[in-house]
Structure 1
Amino acid sequence: MHILMIECNPNGIAGIANALDLGHDVTLVSVDPDFYLAASPLAEAAYAHPNCQVVKSAQAFFIDELTALARKLHSEKPIHGVTTYSEYHTVHTAAVAEALGLPGMSVDGARNARHKHLTRLTLDGKGVRQPRFVHVADPKDVEAAVREIGFPCVVKPSDGTASLHVLHLKDEEDLRAYLAELADVADYGRGVVRVPDLLIEEFVTGELISVESCVLGKGEVVNLGLTDRPLSGFPYFIEMGATYFSGHPLQDELFDLTTRLLNELGVDFGFIHTEFLLGPDGPVLCEVNGRLVGGIVPSLMELSSGVDPYLEVIRQALGERPELPRPGETTAGGRWFGAPIGGTVESIGFDGLKELPGFHSALAYKKPGTEVNRLSKSNFDWIGHTIFTGADRTEVNKRCVEALDRIDLRMKVEVAR
């Protein structure tokens, strides 16, 4: 079978590698294929595989041009499934699948999940608890929106991901600095053009938790499990860890909410990642991501369930009924880490972790000689992760936190004189 992968993400290269191992043909369309070579240790071997075709296209983010390219590729070698692991390309994937008559999410559903202001507006008044919000289509209206919501508030781009440019604003000074910084951001890199829409939202306190689901068809939502998501401190919202589990006291309520809101949004296909804040009055919808959860979480899902969700995404795109990675008896979790100060990485060592109970794996994202920023603004500041298993969420989280002190991070730092 021939799979068209529209962009990817660094961890998702594992899905491409697994599909190739099973004998599938994979065509990866990317604005910058070299990005994955630098970000994933699996990319070089995947690219060299005889069944892998890598197509570099500067137009991969423009739906009409991408669809034309997909039709051309389809005429050369029939495509049997279209998918992505990239948040930025979920609408593109839905549009191409529709154009080729292949399984996929409805374009409207993908758009409602992808653009945060459409999520908010579509669900407004539908019985789903959301923060008070104002949708801003023109940056000149931001100040009025902030006055309507009041400080403290949260500002976020409608089409962002990985907590990039999401900020807690406490006063006018924060707002001015944010707008000045965002004015210089025309794109997110790799050809992804930023839309001007922003959301100004009420600041809701509470634990961040996500529901991992698979929508098998219109109205058929299967909620699989939960992922806790500890965050860094203000003013940014950097995810610093994740544990995949079941059994939360609010699980039934969260599952019911997820089913209702996905149906309201028209999300009718695929693995879905839905985030909630557990506010003082109950769960509050944070956002909906119309794709498989990112980062290390698919690996945690496989450790707990024995099912590889990357591969199930591909199987579903090929029209097969996916096997569902529900949490099992083993609980798996991990922590990301970054640099406490900007500088150049000399080495990242994990020898101190390998004998700890429940240790599964650790990975450094940055090679020696790489310059890195201080962990400060978004998930893109991560420089590595660790993964542990245990009997339950409490044990796994304890092991993950204790392991952070055992990481041997050595850096060269320029000292101002």
Structure 2
Amino acid sequence: MHVLMIECNPNGMAGIANALELGHDVTLISVDPDFYLAISPLTAGTYAHPNCTVVKSEAAFDIDELVALAREIDAENHVHGVTTYSEYHTVHTAAVASALGLPGMSVDGARNARHKHRTRLALDGVEGIRQPRFRAVSDPSEVESAVREIGFPCVAKPSDGTASLHVLHLKDEDDLRDYLTELEGVADYGRGVIRVPEIVIEQFVPGELISVESCVLANGEIVNLGLTDRPLSGFPHFIEMGATYFTGHPLQDELFATTTKVLKELGVDFGFIHTEFLLGPEGPVLCEVNGRLIGGIVPSLMQITSGVDAYLEVIRQALGEQPELPFPGETTAGGHWFGAPIDGVVESIEFDLDGQPGFHSALAYKKPGTTVSRLSKSNFDWIGHVIFTGADRAEVNKRCEAALDHVDLRMRLDVAR
């Protein structure tokens, strides 16, 4: 069968590689295919596979042109399923699937999940769904008045951001002034992804960040699979520093029930979904909804504990098959990311983890000679991770944190910067 992938993400190359191994044809549409070559070690082999076609297109983020391109590809080699692992391209994927008459999320549902201001407005006042007080504005000149209305401390975020990029905790006037200055220079997110103008200002809700991983089956049934904890770095930025995929949280039933209600209200009606909550003083508060499989290392954690390759199941579901679902098993899996303490050039990253209890794997993302930024602003600052297993998330998190002392990162200052 022929799978059309609308962009990807670096870890998602594993899904494409597995689909190729099963004998499927895969066409990847990307504005910058070389981006994946620089980040994922699987990319070169994937691109070289005889059943893999890479289409470089500057139109990958323009829905009308993308649909026209997809129709051309379908005419040459009939497309059986269309999907993505990219947060930036969930609406585009829904539009292409609809145009080709293939399984996929409704376009309105994809938009409601993709754009945070639409999520907030659609759920405003819905009984049983807690949201922070918020203001959604479309003109940067309105941000200041929105902040005044919500009050300090608050959180500012672009409506269509991802990976915590340009999401900031604002505590005072200085933070607000700096944020407005930063936004003036952000017209896009790179790789052809144009930023929408809407910005959401929200009441700051203290509490643990946790997400519900779900799958909406073709018949509309919502299956909540498990939970992912998300320890964060300190303010003002919200960088995710770890993740554990597990089951059994004291608030699990409430989180699952709220997620089901959220997805139904938004019209999110197909595929693997990632819904984030803050565990505030009064209970779970909706943070955001992502209309795609969770990113980072979590699909690998899912496979470790369940034996199910979630990347591949995304593709199988797009092809009209019933996906196998990665419920957490008896063994809990988790990982921690790490970054550089300074701006500089990586000389080496080495791990001394063999023999550590529960050690599963470790990976450095940056090669020697690579210039990196200090871990400070978003998940894009990660330069590696460690993964461990254990009896429960407390044990896994303890093992991951201890493992960071066994990462030998050597750098030199980049005097040019």
| TM, length-normalised to structure 1 | 0.99
Match of 1:211 in 2: 212
Identity fraction in percent: 80
Name the counterpart of 1:57.
Answer: 57
Post-superposition offset of 1:415: 6.9
Once residues 357 and 187 of structure 2 are traced to their aligned partners in structure 1, the CA distance between those partners, rounded to angstroms, is 46
Confirm whether residue 106 of structure 1 aligns to residue 106 of structure 2.
Answer: yes
Preserved contact between residue 163 and residue 378 of structure 2 (Cα < 8 Å)? yes
Name the SS for the 2:163 alignment partner: coil
CA-based RMSD of the aligned residues comes to: 0.9
Which position in structure 1 is the counterpart of 2:401?
401
Q: Does 1:291 align with 2:292?
A: yes
Q: Distance in 2 between matches of 1:258 and 1:181?
A: 33
- Summarize deviations over 1:188-208 as a string: whole Å, max 9, x none: 000000011000000000000
Contact kept in structure 2, 1:16 and 1:26, CA below 8 Å:
yes
- 1:414 Cα offset (Å): 4.5
**How far apart in 2 are the matches of 1:407 and 1:141?**
45
Letter of the 2:213 partner, please give it. Answer: E
Give the corresponding residue for 1:182.
183
Take 1:74 and 1:187, find their aligned partners in 2: how far apart are those partners?
30
Code of the aligned partner of 1:114? R
> 1:161 corresponds to which residue?
162
Give the structure 2 partner of residue 83 of structure 1: 83
Q: For the residues of structure 1 that align with 2:180 and 2:355, how far apart are their CA atoms? A: 48
Matched pairs, number: 415
Q: Give a deviation string over 1:213-243, Cα, whole Å, max 9, x none.
A: 0000364100000000000000000000000
Runs of 4+ residues deviating >4 angstroms: none
Would you say 1:383 and 2:383 are equivalent positions? yes
Aligned partners of 2:25, 2:382: CA distance in 1, in Å?
32
Q: Which residue of 2 aligns with 1:73?
A: 73
Q: What one-letter code is carried by the residue in structure 1 that aligns with 2:372?
A: V
Q: What one-letter code is carried by the residue in structure 2 that aligns with 1:304?
A: T
Residue 387 of structure 1 deviates from its aligned partner by: 0.4
Give ranges in structure 1 of 5+ residues lacking alignment. Answer: none
SS at match of 1:99: helix
Change (3 A) 1:179 1:324: same
Q: What is the alpha-carbon distance in structure 2 between the residues aligned to residue 5 and residue 158 of structure 1?
A: 24
Name the counterpart of 1:264: 265
Gaps of 5+ in 2: none
2 CA distance for matches of 1:23 and 1:119?
38
Work out the CA distance in 1 between the residues paired with 2:279 and 2:164.
18
Kindly state the Cα deviation for residue 172 of structure 1 after the two structures are TM-superposed: 1.1
Specify whether residues 149 and 218 from structure 1 end up closer, same or farther in structure 2 by C-alpha distance, changes over 3 A only. Answer: farther
Name the amino acid aligned to 2:155. Answer: V
Instruction: Please report how far the alpha carbon of residue 403 of structure 1 lies from its aligned counterpart in structure 2 after TM superposition.
Output: 0.1
Distance in 2, matches of 1:181 and 1:398, equals: 36
Contact 1:218 1:263 in 2 (8 A): no
Match of 1:149 in 2: 150
Q: Tell me, in whole angstroms, the C-alpha distance in 2 between the residues paired with 1:130 and 1:217.
A: 28
Alignment match, 2:203: 202
